[in-house]
Structure 1
């Protein structure tokens, strides 16, 4: 497990080297056989070269999501490749579809997407992950502010 977590933390560094730790606080949930690690943050925390490498926009009103799915019951918790889709909903119940891209770096696999927000807006995220007959939904909310 320690090896995978180290690789996952390296993946997190792709999105926020030099960013305050509190801005990139990782969260995780157990969903069926998976341990899903996720975070959402303002895209201005992306290093410019990393944003360019992954074709991500850096803007004070764009949020970036980072999701990794691990096999919770297996030794070493290997990364899982899943089909992933979802949307973000603002306080007025307006939905924005999320377009995820899969990133594979060594044996680490994670999914990134971006969505817009307004200052001090709380977005609710609804993410569906599928792999074979397994399907689970990750739900969480996050308040964003311009910086």
Structure 2
């Protein structure tokens, strides 16, 4: 199973647990985001994409689609940070993953049980920069 299929499954799983769609629209960009435990990914998928699996490690997934051009995946630069409620900050190191016409930007983050992180993600393409913010609580499974 491809990473795309795993992520779609995870998005469906989370959509049953949340009323809010994890998407923001900024101009002609639809920015999809999700953060989930890396243990949700099958071992062979983790190996293929060089992701570590752990009950204390998350995956942050960002994708940017052009909503004025048939939802075409955008080639962007993604950077960001995650900050705990106590103010401890971690820089996120995003890696670009392309599968066919789909493009994802993935980063990993260590966490503790019931830890809340505030994410600030910057998305840049040429002179254009958009910033999204979201909060996520992580649980150890």
Normalised by the size of structure 2, how large is the TM-score? 0.88
> Which of 34, 38, 61 lines up with 2:29 in the alignment?
34
Tell me the CA shift for residue 32 of structure 1.
2.6
Q: Which residue in the other structure is 2:6 paired with?
A: 14
Tell me the CA shift for residue 13 of structure 1.
2.5
Query: Are residues 1:98 and 2:92 paired?
Result: yes
Distance 1:36 1:18 in 2: 17
Tell me the CA shift for residue 31 of structure 1.
1.6
Q: 1:134 to 1:59 in 2, by over 3 A?
A: same
Give the gaps of 5 or more residues in structure 2.
none
Structure 1: 4+ residue segments shifted above 4 A: 15-20, 23-26
Q: 1:19 to 1:47 in 2, by over 3 A?
A: farther
- Corresponding residue SS for 1:21: helix
Q: Which residue in the other structure is 2:115 paired with?
A: 121
> Which of 84, 102, 112 lines up with 2:106 in the alignment?
112
Give the gaps of 5 or more residues in structure 1.
1-9
Tell me the CA shift for residue 126 of structure 1.
0.6
Q: 1:27 to 1:12 in 2, by over 3 A?
A: farther
Tell me the CA shift for residue 96 of structure 1.
0.6
Aligned residues: 137
Distance 1:85 1:20 in 2: 25
* Superposition CA RMSD, Å: 2.2
Contact in 2 for aligned 1:11/1:108 (Cα 8 Å): no
Distance 2:25 2:140 in 1: 31
Tell me the CA shift for residue 18 of structure 1.
8.0
Matches within 5 A, 1:46-125: 46-74=41-69, 76-125=70-119
* CA displacement, residues 15-44 of structure 1 (integer Å, 9 cap, x when unaligned): 475898138976100123210011110111
